[in-house]
Amino acid sequence: MLTTESVPLTAGRMVDELRKCGITHLIWLPDTETQIVCEAVIGQPDFTLVPVCREGEAIAVAVGLMLGGKEPVVVHQNTGFFESGDSVRSLALDLHLPLLLLIGYRGWKHGAPMTDSAAIFTEPILDAWGIKYYLVETDEDVEKISRGYKEAHETQKTVVILLGGGYEHLD
């Protein structure tokens, strides 16, 4: 649970962790939950930001980049993850691809009861699909991004990083 003593989740720290993983491309549909991450990579020469029109496209774009030898990460909101379900199933899961998804956890209440159906359905859907996930809420949790990336590559499976909110625009 987030406390007053916890270090908030900052864009700079997340980007540093993505850099450690060797991520080359962020495939993203703009939304309020994940906007901070993508804004932080704009203008940085070691990242390419690839905007898409629908979340389902993001998975296909990521797969194409992977086949071309790049290291993409898909960045979107949990509602976008629901929209991309068929692409996740038919491409990432069925092809056993080591895809990392950063998903903004819309409706997450830091352990308190949730009322937003997007939040209520997120973890049960990930569990039903057999997708491993990690919750990142503070800068202290950010190493879970590298852990998820490593696990995805070791198991040849998709791994999700749920971004639990409370972001700050700090370097």
**Residues 151, 133: Cα–Cα separation, whole Å:** 10
Question: Which value, in Å, is the radius of gyration of the alpha carbons in the chain?
Answer: 15
Confidence of residue 169 (pLDDT cuts 50, 70, 90): very low
Q: What is the pLDDT, as a whole number, of residue 5?
A: 56
In whole angstroms, how far apart are CA 129 and each of 25, 46, 77, 92, 149? 25, 32, 17, 11, 18
Residue 146 lies in a domain: no
- Establish if 2 belongs to a structural domain: no
Reported as a single tens digit per residue, the pLDDT across 73-119 is: 999 999 999 999 999 999 999 999 999 999 999 988 887 888 899 99
The pLDDT tens digits of the residues spanning 3-46 come to 445 668 888 999 999 999 999 999 998 887 788 888 889 889 99
Residue 135 has pLDDT above 50, yes or no: yes
Token duo for residue 4: 């007053």
Q: The CATH number of the domain where 115 resides is what?
A: 3.40.50.970
Domain for residue 27, yes or no?
yes
Using 50, 70 and 90 to split pLDDT, how confident is the model at 142? very high
Measured between alpha carbons, how far is 109 from 46 in angstroms, rounded to an integer?
34
Question: For residue 109, is it within any domain?
Answer: yes
User: Which range of residues forms the domain containing residue 28?
Assistant: 9-141+152-168
Does residue 3 lie in a domain region?
no
Count other C-beta atoms under 10 Å from residue 153's C-beta: 15
Domain count, the chain: 1
The 3-class secondary structure across 79-143, one letter per residue, is HHHHHCHHHHHHHHHCCCCCCEEEEECCCCCCCCCCCCHHHHHHHHHHHHCCCEEEEECEHHHCH
Residue 157 lies in a domain: yes
* Residue among 43, 48, 54, 93 nearest 77 (CA): 54
The residue behind tokens 């830091």 is 110
pTM: 0.91
Quick check: is 147 in a domain? no
Contacts of 61 (CB under 8 A, 6+ apart): 27, 50, 52, 72
- The answer as to whether 1 is a domain residue is no
Please write the tens of the pLDDT for every residue from 46-69.
999 999 999 989 999 999 999 999
